[in-house]
Amino acid sequence: MYSSHSPLNPGNLKFGTLRIVSGNSRNFVFLTVYIMEKNTTFSKVAELWKADKKQYVKKSTYAAYCLLIQSHLLPEFGNRNDIGEGIVQDFVNRKLALGLSQKTVRDILVVLKMILRYGAKHGLMELHQFDIVFPTERERQDIEVLTITNQRQLMTYVKEHFTFLNLGIFICLNAGLRIGEVCALQWDDIDVTVGVIRVNKTIQRIYLVDGEEKYTELIVDKPKTKNSLREIPMTRDLQALVRPLKKIVRGDFYVLTNAANPTEPRTYRSYFNKLQKVLGLPKMRFHGLRHSFATRCIESKCDYKTVSVLLGHSNISTTLNLYVHPNLEQKKKCIDTMGKMFK
């Protein structure tokens, strides 16, 4: 607790909740909203929160928070010492109108919540309750997936034109790694005796803000969730490619470079984009390789839980929502099976 003479004197705090609602949905996300004590601006509270949070979260997570604060929250709320429902709702509406996804806007509001909760805890603000409304999302964005023909073309090319960069593409198509995971993959992570790839780290370039100084840094770190730490069995084709290489490479070298230094995701993404043009493939993001792996697993009648584990999803609902969408033929079969119960 703070004394009445403390700069962080809690005073008479009032607690409330901001409910984020989506259309007519009854599923609410609760978010705390505050009004600052006089002369305490949001930017000051944000700086205190950042200094505190830096002690407990990964460097990449902290960098992501700083980027959201710098890009979205400070320009809107930085000099304010009160934040009302209308202000936040208008902020949300404008961000959505600019093309930001609901997920991105919700992530921004989560950071806003943490900062304001920190301020209230230390007596810098009061809080009031109000609702933030999101429009109902009616359209599902289709994921990018290679056709079987295009996937066969790509796999054949990378096998016949071997480079370590092409090997990475083959790994992603056969094991579903994310781009940061394959960039961080080392030869020691590939076990040809057991026949598995062990995913235990990721690489990314993070944006850092240190006072007036802004810079980026390439870091290798553990994946953000424990589910991303996983073992993926290799296909026979993949084992045939890597088994002879394992006899001559250094275990601590990175697979994509076969050197002590890794390549970074944006460089590898650029390489993949150029390769698509060379092969005349439809333009697709690198993440489409992972989507293609998952889709082929589902098409091969793999059970959903196993696919979820292979992908490193935090829960099976993510897998179901992304990849399990019955076609008309499957729907007809389901209805016909149900109808037979009454004959």
Burial class (CB in 10 A: 0-12, 13-18, 19+), 12: exposed
CA–CA dist 239, 81 (Å, integer):
61
Burial class (CB in 10 A: 0-12, 13-18, 19+), 52: exposed
Q: Alpha-carbon torsion 81, 99, 266, 295, what sign? A: positive
Task: Give the single-character DSSP code of 259.
Answer: B
What residues contact residue 232 under an 8 Å CB cut-off, 6+ apart? 175, 176, 177, 196, 197, 199, 310
| Residue 272: C-alpha distances to residues 160, 174, 176, 203, 278 (Å) | 16, 16, 15, 17, 10
Domain that holds residue 35: 18-134
What residues contact residue 279 under an 8 Å CB cut-off, 6+ apart? 153, 154, 157
Instruction: Say yes or no: 172 and 57 in one domain.
Output: no
Instruction: Say yes or no: 191 and 251 in one domain.
Output: yes
- Predicted local confidence at residue 330, as pLDDT: 66
- Among residues 134, 160, 178, the one where a domain terminates is 134
Amino acid symbol at 69: I
Q: Is residue 291, in this structure, part of any structural domain at all?
A: yes
Q: Is residue 333, in this structure, part of any structural domain at all?
A: no
CA–CA dist 179, 269 (Å, integer):
8
Structure tokens at 271: 């390489």
Mean pLDDT split into 10-residue runs, the chain, 343 residues: 40 44 46 56 92 90 90 92 84 93 92 88 74 74 86 95 96 96 97 96 85 82 88 95 96 96 96 96 95 91 92 88 72 79 73
Instruction: Say yes or no: 91 and 179 in one domain.
Output: no
Number of separate domains in the chain: 2
- Predicted local confidence at residue 3, as pLDDT: 39
pTM (two decimals): 0.76
Instruction: Say yes or no: 258 and 319 in one domain.
Output: yes
Instruction: Say yes or no: 203 and 306 in one domain.
Output: yes
CA–CA dist 341, 343 (Å, integer):
6
Structure tokens at 247: 């006899």
Instruction: Say yes or no: 250 and 313 in one domain.
Output: yes
Burial class (CB in 10 A: 0-12, 13-18, 19+), 87: middle
Q: Is residue 63, in this structure, part of any structural domain at all?
A: yes
Burial class (CB in 10 A: 0-12, 13-18, 19+), 61: middle
Amino acid symbol at 54: K
- For residue 111, the domain's CATH number is 1.10.150.130
Instruction: Say yes or no: 191 and 267 in one domain.
Output: yes
Question: In sequence order, what DSSP letters do the residues of 183-247 get, joined into one string?
Answer: HT-BGGGEETTTTEEEE--EEEEEEEEETTEEEEEEEEE--SSGGGSEEEEPPHHHHHHHHHHHT
CA–CA dist 6, 111 (Å, integer):
26
- For residue 242, the domain's CATH number is 1.10.443.10
Q: What is the number of alpha carbons within 13 Å of residue 13 lying toward its C-beta?
A: 20
Instruction: Say yes or no: 31 and 97 in one domain.
Output: yes
Q: Alpha-carbon torsion 281, 282, 284, 289, what sign? A: negative
- Predicted local confidence at residue 314, as pLDDT: 86
